[in-house]
Each structure stands twice: as C-alpha cells, then as structure tokens.
Structure 1
Amino acid sequence: MRLRGVGKRHRPGGPWVLRGVDAELPEAAVLRAEGANGSGKSTLLRLLAGIDAPSAGRITGRPRPTAYVPERFPAALPFTAAGYLTHQARTRGLRRGAAERAAGEWLERLGAGGHARTPMVELSKGGGQKVAVAQALLAAPRLLVLDEAWTGLDVAARAELDRAVAERVADGATVVYVDHDPRRLAGFVHTVLRVAGTEVAAVPGPARDGAAPAAPGAGTAGRVAVTVTGPPGATWPPVPPGASAPEAGPDGALRLTVPAAHSDALLRALLAARPPWHVRAVEPVPAPDPAAGADPAGGARP
C-alpha cells in the first residue's frame, strides 16, 4: 500500500491537516502512528482505512478486506450485539451460518458472549467497545486499522486484541494503530508513523531495528535479544531454532537471544500465547570478538 503526495483538509480552502504525505505500508507488519493530540493521527488512519478520501495525492494498493475500529464507536444502533455482528459479517460476504458463528466466536473471545442478545443501546461502554473490535475482526482483514481500540476494554479483552493483532500479522496482514499507552505492542512495531505539522515521517520501529549485524566473517544474519515479562500463569511458547535458554534478570524479566531471521516468529509466539507475554525490549546483540569465539547462544566464550 502506497501514499504519494497525500493531503487532507476538511473543507475547500480550509487548513491542511496533512499534506505531502509519502509512505509505504508493508505486508505482515505492525505500524504505530504517533503524535500530539490534534496532530492528525485519526485523520491519517481514516485515510488509510478508506473512510475518508484524500484532498490531494493518491493512495494505491489498499489490501482487501479492510477493517477499522474508530475512536468513537456509535453503539446506539437498532440491533442486538450478535445481530449487529451477523449483519456486518453478511455485508462482508459471509453466508448466514458462517456469519452467525463468527459473531458468536468473537463475542466469546472478547468476553462478551453473555451479551449476545443484549440490545446495543443497553451495552456498557466496554461492551460497546468489544462489539466495535469484533466487527473489525470478523472477516480476517488484510488491513486492520485501530484508533484507540484498546480504550474501554478490560484487561482480558485487551490481551485478546493483542493476540488478534499477532494472528493477523502472522497471516500476512498489515495493522496500523494509535494507542495512548507507549508500551502497547512494544517490540512488535515495524514502522512508526510520526505525525506533526501536517507531515508524516516513517521511521523504523523496534521490530525492524532488531536485526543485529553479522559477526565478522560469520556469514550469518546476527542475533537479537528479546526481553519479556509474563503475567501469572503465562506459558512459555515453543522457541524457534537457535534460541538460547531464557535467563531471569533481577527485576523478574526474562531475556533470551535468537537468530535475527527467527525473531519475528518468536515475537508472534509470545504475543499469541494465552495469556500473552509483554515484550519489553528487542535489541541487537553486539557481534562477538572473533578471537574469543562464540557459544551457541551467540555470546562470547570466556
């Protein structure tokens, strides 16, 4: 997906909210939009999702299907929760039986199965937000745009949305999001879209910076160190080939190294675990001194 010279203003002759935006959104990647309040983050997300059309420039290659969770979801609709989700699934091409199953499955995953027959107008703010998230995930979108989608969700539903993001990316989809918590999906972000002064600057995120340079003469892609913490009861996922054994730090965090080529697989496994692990850092491992040799975990031998 490409943006070329994209600009947006909300009325003819009005001020530009965004202008001259050039960017590329890769497949199988997470992109985070950052900027001050009122900088144009939500406008950018609406353009990416196709909700708004640009006032200038072009957006090409938008994946289909595309799904969007707005910052404010209009929950006062004349449906029950399951009825609304079934209707949304039908409009996206699912047959009635499949639509009803998808609606029920996502309500259960997000902890709202007991509200399937509740009228939308009677849902709490958190219940309405769960429906907003569910409608975006019904049809396995190839582009998922989330504008403060975690706000209003309980802890379990937030973790489930984290897992859903990992699942979509593992399936090759692109996810773009805004969230007030800087730790949200930390270590999993491919690109940061910094929005300021009508401009958008795309800079590498931790998941793209995480590949270490090859050790001199080694002919390999280097290693990446991943630091994580897990909630009580978190199960350690299967690790990819070449990963070191996790080592506990004084603060309770676990650190392990993995070949850079397998780092994405490890991050997906950590985020898709039930409950998910919190990725605190993804860092390149310094190349070892060739004279000292290297152990199988990527560190220098004593």
Structure 2
Amino acid sequence: MGRTGDSGSDPADAAIRLHDAGRRYGLRGPWVLREVGLGVRAGALTRVQGANGTGKSTLLRLLARIDAPTEGRVHGRPRTAYVPERFPAALPFTAADYLTHMGRVHGLTGAAAARRAHEWLDRFGAGAHARTPLPELSKGSSQKVAVAQALLAEPGLLVLDEAWTGLDAAARDVLDRAVAEHTATGGAVVFVDHDPRRLAGLADETYEISGTGVRRRTEQTAPAPAAAGPTVVIEVRGPLGARLPPGLPGTAEPGPDADTRRLLVAAPQSDLVLRELLTASPPWHVVGVRAAEERR
C-alpha cells in the first residue's frame, strides 16, 4: 500500500508534518488511518473533510499531538491549541478562571492571561458569564469558552474540530474572522466542520479521508472571492498614486475617482482588511462598507 497524499502535500516549510502515519486503537483494532503523509504550512488554512466516522477527529488529534501515531512519525512542534468536538465543561473553574489558567499553560503571564480571557469572552458576547462556573454554562456559552481558550494565546497551530457547532450566528462570524486574522499573521489553522459552506473558497488546502487514506483535493481550485460565500465591498480613498498594502486578500478595482479603490473581500476577512488599511502609512480613508449584492 502506497503512501497517501502527493508530493505537494508534505512541504518542507510545513509547521507540522505526518510521515507514513497510522493510527488504530488497541493492539488488534482496525486501522482508522494508515500511511498518511501531509504537511500543514505556516499561514495556511487547511480543511479536512470526509463522511462521519472516517477518522477526521483522529487525524486532527494526530496533528495536535493529542494522540501519538501507532506507526509513522510526526515532525514539527509548533505551539498548538486545540478545540475538541466535545468540550469537557464539568471542570471546577469559572469561565474567566479557566481561560486565565489555560493562558498561563500556554506561557502567558497571569495578568496577560486574565486580560485576554476577558477580551475574548467579550468578543464572543459572553462577557456576562465570566464569573459563571463552567458546569452552569449553556451549551453555546460553553462552546464560546472552548474556542476562546484556543485563541487567547495566539498559537502557531490552531486545530478546530467542529468548533462552530453550538455557537450562535454572531459568534460563528467572530470565529470566522479570528481564523482569517490568525492565518494572515502567519499561524496555521486546520479545521473540520459539517457545513461545507464554512469558510468556502478560503482554504489553501483541502484533504479528504477515504478508507484509511487521506488525499489532497487537487482537482478543485478556490473560487474567486465573489463566489466564495458572503462578500463585502470596501471603498477607500488614499493619497493620489498611493498603493494598497501588499498581500491584502480579495480583489481590487478602480473606484469612481482617481484616488479611490473598491475592494471585493470575503466577509470573514473584512475586519482584517479594514485594520490593514487604517494602520497603513499613510492610512487609507474608508468611504464605505457594504454587502457585495448592494453594489448596484
């Protein structure tokens, strides 16, 4: 049986790589995954998909180093944060104390961990639950804590196993934007989600599990931003002849005046683009932001 993946799936610059990795449970248990070779690049968004029970969570646990491979090797040790499919909420902490504790585990000082704990709770709309014991939280609030603990320490590798499940619409949008921000600043993200529209068109790599193997989806290319789910039009004005900051996601076109530009950006990346424009030197003036369907 040959190694799964292809020559492009095991890059030398990967933050973490699986080499001929396999996993089974028990000495004589069936193989869940076998001879898997893939790499996750720094700054890349990687989607894992497959039918229920095919081993998606097993693959994510190998990448997060929660489980060791039964055979093969894992190369690379980025600082990793992991959101499991089921968050163990019955822990003797309040929401803020748990996040502060996890921040310190990830190497933050106590003060920095506490500050970021409250910042992420507020960002997810759960600030009112900071002093609530974890076992008393609703499913949705508990999931917000689970996601916040992974984001607050800015890990090199973020592994999300159905992390959007249980979140309300506003919190799902926050997580979408957090993922875009994380990859834009050089972090790697690997995720599984049951909704095929989740971050549609934004993944740099997509792997599909079939049988015990993992294959990179090379036959698909990412659609243009206009077709990649909800998009936003950002109209900006800058000094005459000024260039937009390099590396902005989306597409740019001339605006109605010589000093204006229109940017068509996937909605999850809009906050990142606005921040880059406003902090550029010299900064760009934001004329307007609207949904793409409102362009006419």
Q: Report the TM range for the smaller structure's normalisation.
A: 0.7 to 0.9
TM-score (norm 2): 0.75
1:50 aligns with 2:65: yes
Report deviation, 1:72.
0.3
Task: Tell me by how many angstroms 1:138 deviates.
Answer: 1.3
Residue 198 to residue 236, structure 1, CA distance change in 2 (3 Å): same
Three-state SS of the structure 1 residue aligned to 2:48 is strand
Contact 1:66 1:141 in 2 (8 A): yes
Residue 143 and residue 244 in structure 1: after superposition, are their counterparts in 2 closer, same or farther (change >3 A)?
same
Counterpart contact for 2:202–2:228, Cα < 8 Å = no
For residues 263 and 254 of structure 2, the distance between their equivalents in structure 1, rounded to whole angstroms, comes to 8
**Residue type matched to 1:2 in 2?**
R
In structure 1, the gaps of 5 or more residues are: 212-223, 247-255, 259-264, 280-302
Residues 186-244 of structure 1: per-residue CA shift (max 9 Å, x gap): 111111110010000022486xx359xxxxxxxxxxxx66336659xx67275768822
Structure 1 counterpart of 2:41: 26
Deviation of 1:76 (Å) = 1.0
Q: Is the 8 A contact 2:228 2:266 kept in 1?
A: no
From the superposition, tell whether residues 195 and 148 of structure 1 become closer, same or farther in structure 2 (CA, over 3 Å): same
Contact 1:68–1:145 at 8 Å: present in 2 too? Answer: yes
Alignment of 1:1-302 (within 5 A): 1-63=16-78, 65-204=79-218, 209-210=221-222, 226-227=226-227, 230=230, 236=234, 243-244=252-253, 269-270=269-270, 272=272
In structure 2, distance between residues paired with 1:277 and 1:147: 32
1:46 alignment partner, SS class: helix
Kindly tell me the number of residue pairs found equivalent between the two proteins.
247
CA distance in 2, matches of 1:112, 1:225: 31
Change (3 A) 1:68 1:278: farther
Per the alignment, in what secondary structure is the counterpart of residue 21 of structure 2? Answer: strand
- CA displacement 1:90-135 (0-9 Å, x = unmatched): 1111111111101000000111000000011100000100000000
Say if 1:229 and 1:56 are closer, same or farther in 2 by CA, change over 3 A: closer
Structure-2 change in CA distance of 1:56 and 1:237 (3 Å): farther
Partner of 2:280: none
SS in 2 for 1:94: coil
| TM-score (norm: length of structure 1) | 0.74
Structure 2 match to 1:291: none
The Cα offsets for residues 168-187 of structure 1, whole Å up to 9 and x where unpaired, read as 10111110000011010011
1:244 is aligned with what amino acid?
Answer: E
Structure 2 stretches lacking a partner, 5+ long: 1-15, 237-243, 256-261, 275-288
- Cα distance in 1 between the residues matched to 2:171 and 2:267: 20
**Corresponding letter in the other structure for 2:208:** R
Change in CA separation of 1:228 and 1:58 when aligned onto 2, cut-off 3 Å: closer
CA deviation vs aligned residue, 1:8-30 (integer Å, no higher than 9, x gap): 00111211000000111111111
Q: Distance in 1 between matches of 2:82 and 2:192?
A: 12
